[in-house]
């Protein structure tokens, strides 16, 4: 068996030297790492590494610089933001009108127009001098933000030392606090995080939010946003509160149209009380063939106004564009900014004159290609109405239909801008139909509502469901062709159809149906009654809608108002 060789007991001098070197290298490496860590800590804690070369734009305590499409342009001591960026952050409907060569912008209760040559701005019809106007740089439109601060309700701070531009909405809450000690403001809540600013004891900061983990997000006096320990804050005060718009009607809307034509007189409602109704909409206004707004009020109309107020009803009169040739007239107005503006001024004048509470806009039979310009009209009308505390409700048809009846509305924009969008849930089979059918089948109404909510993305509390207080009696010949259709008021249905005719309930339509012979003709009717209206109005609570409208007062049976009142509880 081979014996193992013994290892030498003593290391050679060369090996000892090598070992000493390794120990020294390790020692100095550790020292270097400690020094680097100390330097990193000092740099992290005390050295601010923000880039001051690029102008940082802060909007309502959010740094949006990386999202800018244009640049923060400073020219002749004026600060400009691009039209596209103003559209992204303030007015998504900002618009360049080529005919007048002006930029039209709307925000809350303001509409403003500013041009490219004159140092003027027009806000809600009042013109004032400015120190700058709109400009174009590299085919990009820029607007002077200082001149728009009253439009967008802004407080502007330009901090040149740190190259930060701050835009604060004066309608949003702002909380201020005092810092209790010298402290670094960090980019994040991590243990090691970049320092974005340093604040001294007694310095004031804006408190953006406080988290449960003991950190607070703040904005410093130099416009830097970051985190500090919450315990370093004291003397918090609400410097500015949120300003929230109050609804004219806190509960659900219960509107009824009190219709009469442009030449008839207002109905006499003396000693009448419509239980549950909180809005009436008489047809006081219309466009004439010259495109001017005309009124039909007179002494009877004034008495109607007094009656409505005595019954605690808000008054949103209807403005129509009905009549022969009105499609062309409407198109002419919609496609010219100055004509839209003239109509808006006329509407406001009438609202002020008669102390109205709002307007119900009922423009129908318009060109499909005018859809966007009709939306522009509503966009431009809404802030002027809000300025006076008036409500704008806009009538629209079901989403599916022909060009001039259905596809002429951009329901998404209307629902976004107006106070209410009124879905006229009737005439599923209307006067021009060559096939007999229901006026408002439950399945059709609900399907259309879902499109309003899901496809058009309209907030449910902005949708008013309008139901019919009438139906149609259809007459077919022996070949099944429609020879006649006539409107029958709900109150007259039982007197119209023979008493011995059997009614059949159609579950999908939520209606009773009758069919009977009259000579060689076949009569058909899909009935609107209390049962059918209960089925339709149940959709209001199911989909959390903003309310109910009914067309039209005078066609109903007495029980209707109790049904509506219960549906809106």
> Is the pLDDT at 15 greater than 80, yes or no?
no
From CA 206, how far away is CA 220, in angstroms rounded? 7
Same domain, 305 and 372: yes
Confidence check: pLDDT of 497 > 90: yes
- The least confident of 157-166, 258-267, 472-481 is 258-267
* One domain for residues 72 and 99: yes
Same structural domain for residues 288 and 435? yes
Indicate the pTM of the whole model: 0.91
Find the range with the poorest average confidence among 321-325, 421-425, 449-453, 509-513: 321-325
Indicate if the pLDDT at residue 270 is higher than 90: yes
Please report the pLDDT score of residue 108 as a whole number: 96
Predicted pLDDT at 261:
83
Helices (H), 354-501: 371-387, 411-417, 442-450, 493-496
Helices and strands in the chain: count of H runs, count of E runs: 12, 36
Over range 310-320, report the average pLDDT. Answer: 97
DSSP state letter for 61 = T
> Predicted confidence band at 3 (pLDDT cuts at 50, 70, 90)?
very low
Count structural domains, the chain: 3
Count the neighbouring beta carbons within 10 Å of the beta carbon of residue 289: 11
- Average pLDDT, integer, range 425-442: 96
- Per-residue pLDDT of 209-219, as tens digits, reads 999 899 999 99
CATH (domain of 94): 3.30.457.10
Based on the fold, state whether residues 103 and 210 are members of the same structural domain. no
Given 189, 207, 240, the domain boundary residue is: 240
Asked whether residue 370 is domain-assigned, the answer is yes
Q: Are residues 190 and 326 in the same domain?
A: no
Residue 348 has pLDDT above 60, yes or no: yes
Q: What is the mean pLDDT of the chain?
A: 93
Q: Which helix (H) or strand (E) holds 348?
A: helix 337-353
- Is residue 412 in a domain? yes
**pLDDT of the residue at 509:** 98
Is residue 24 predicted with pLDDT exceeding 80?
no
Q: pLDDT confidence of 492, banded at 50, 70, 90?
A: very high
Residue range(s) defining the domain that contains residue 198: 173-240
395 and 304 together in one domain? yes
Among 261-270, 338-347, 399-408, 537-546, where is mean pLDDT lowest?
261-270
The DSSP bridge partners found for residue 294 are 286
pLDDT band at 181 (very low <50, low <70, confident <90, very high): very high
- Is 513 contained in some domain? no
pLDDT at 19: 75
Tell me which of 159, 191, 225 is where a domain ends: 159
Model confidence at 383, pLDDT cuts 50, 70, 90, reads very high
Q: Note the pLDDT of residue 1.
A: 46
Distance between CA atoms of residues 330 and 345, nearest Å: 16
> Dmax of the chain from CA atoms?
134
Average pLDDT over residues 175-200: 94
Same domain, 214 and 181: yes
Residue 275 lies in a domain: yes
Residues near 318 by beta carbon (within 8 Å), at least 6 away in sequence? 257, 259, 281, 282, 283, 284, 285, 359, 360, 361, 362
């Amino acid at each position: 068996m081979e014996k193992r060789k013994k290892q030498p007991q003593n290391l050679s001098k060369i090996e000892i030297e090598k070992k000493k070197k390794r120990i020294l290298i390790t020692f100095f490496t550790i020292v270097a790492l400690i020094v680097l860590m100390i330097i990193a800590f000092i740099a992290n804690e005390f050295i601010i590494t923000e880039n001051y070369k690029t102008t940082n734009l802060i909007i309502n305590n959010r740094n949006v610089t990386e999202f800018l499409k244009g640049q923060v342009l400073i020219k002749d001591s004026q600060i400009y933001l691009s039209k596209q960026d103003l559209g992204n952050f303030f007015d998504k409907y900002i618009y360049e009108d080529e005919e007048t060569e002006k930029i039209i912008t709307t925000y809350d209760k303001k509409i403003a127009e500013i041009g490219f040559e004159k140092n003027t701005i027009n806000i809600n019809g009042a013109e004032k001098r400015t120190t700058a106007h709109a400009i174009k740089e590299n085919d990009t439109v820029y607007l002077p933000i200082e001149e728009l601060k009253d439009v967008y309700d802004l407080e502007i701070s330009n901090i040149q030392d740190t190259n930060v531009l701050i835009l604060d909405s004066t309608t949003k809450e702002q909380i201020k606090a005092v810092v209790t000690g010298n402290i670094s403001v960090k980019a994040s809540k991590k243990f090691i995080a970049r320092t974005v600013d340093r604040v001294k004891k007694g310095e004031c900061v804006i408190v953006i939010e406080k988290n449960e983990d003991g950190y607070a997000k703040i904005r410093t006096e130099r416009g830097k946003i970051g985190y500090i320990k919450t315990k370093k804050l004291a003397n918090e005060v609400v410097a500015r509160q949120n300003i929230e718009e109050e609804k004219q009607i806190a509960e659900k809307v219960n509107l009824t149209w009190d219709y009469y034509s442009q030449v008839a007189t207002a109905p006499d409602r003396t000693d009448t009380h419509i239980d549950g109704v909180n809005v009436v909409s008489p047809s006081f206004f219309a466009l004439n063939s010259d495109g001017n707004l005309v009124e039909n009020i007179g002494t009877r109309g004034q008495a109607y106004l007094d009656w409505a107020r005595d019954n605690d009803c808000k008054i949103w009169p209807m403005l129509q564009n009905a009549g022969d040739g009105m499609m062309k007239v409407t198109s002419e107005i919609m496609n010219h900014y100055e004509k839209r503006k003239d109509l808006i001024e006329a509407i406001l004048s009438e609202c002020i004159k008669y102390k109205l509470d709002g307007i119900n806009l009922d423009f129908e039979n318009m060109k499909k290609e005018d859809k966007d310009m009709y939306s522009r009209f509503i966009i431009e009308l809404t802030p002027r109405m809000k300025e006076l505390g008036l409500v704008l409700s806009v009538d629209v048809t079901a989403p599916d239909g022909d060009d001039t009846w259905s596809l002429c509305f951009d329901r998404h924009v209307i629902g976004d801008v107006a106070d209410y969008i009124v879905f006229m849930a009737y005439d599923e089979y209307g006067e021009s139909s060559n096939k007999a059918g229901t006026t408002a089948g439950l399945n059709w109404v609900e399907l259309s509502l879902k499109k309003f909510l899901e496809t058009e993305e309209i907030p449910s509390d902005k949708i008013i469901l309008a139901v019919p207080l009438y139906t149609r009696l259809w007459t077919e010949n022996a070949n099944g062709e429609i020879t006649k259709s006539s409107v029958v008021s709900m109150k007259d249905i039982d007197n119209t159809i023979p008493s011995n005719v059997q009614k059949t309930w159609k579950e999908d339509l939520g209606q009773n149906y009758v069919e009977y012979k009259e000579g060689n003709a076949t009569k058909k009717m899909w009935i609107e009654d209390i049962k059918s209206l209960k089925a339709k109005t149940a959709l209001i609570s199911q989909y959390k809608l903003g309310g109910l409208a009914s067309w039209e007062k005078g066609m109903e049976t007495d029980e209707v108002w109790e049904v509506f009142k219960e549906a809106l509880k």
